[in-house]
Structure 1
Amino acid sequence: MVRGLRGATTVEYDEEQSVLEATKVLVEEMAKENSISPSDIISVLVSTTTDVKSTFPAKAVRSINGWMYVPVMCTHEMDVPGSMPLCIRVLMHVNTDIPQRFIKHIYQNEAIKLRPDLQKK
């Protein structure tokens, strides 16, 4: 079964190391919380708000041990007035037997505000 895992995080500044570290932390938690290994992953789509342009967040994903062959692509989100700034979003397509209702979507930092309904209680 193919499932989509969602996640998002934010950075305080558009600075290369901040973007790479935040992306890596997010993706690693998404995989850990859903017991996903790199061989389970079909592809990863990373999007950022248009104010994030210091680096490609995909570099962070490919730097994770065992992930260098995972297909990753970056893009920008729509530039909607009033949307959350400095935001990095991830959509990971994976092969898993986990039922949809048990998938753990991960939101970190200010991005928690995007989906408060998915936060651990």
Structure 2
Amino acid sequence: MSTEHMKAILQCVEAGEWLASGDGDDMWLKFHDAFEGGVWSLYHARALDAFNGSLDAAKALHEALLPDYTRSVDATVPEWGVTVSLHKGGFPQFEGDLEDEARAWLVAILKALIAKGDADG
């Protein structure tokens, strides 16, 4: 997994821009390069759905890529948005803070994948 491309995807998601350059294939290419296996298009589809608010897609992506992490949600101050945290061993390790829960979950997943890739590589 390419952390360089994963970081570019994270930056776009946090900015709320699925297409970084306005090129319709731009994010497809980033996912293709980030996931060098044959399942990259499945991850792209799930991430796109999570970006657009699907909690089911965020959950499927999480279960496929980070099955050993658990998730918690903090929305105690709704006007500040939602914090989704991923835990491994009981402590929050990766967080996404956005107004949309599915997109915040996607951010946390991407951060975990980047850290995992950095540690592996």
TM above 0.5, yes or no, is: no
Structure 2 length-normalised TM = 0.28
Q: Which has the higher helix share?
A: 2
Q: Which has the higher strand share?
A: 1
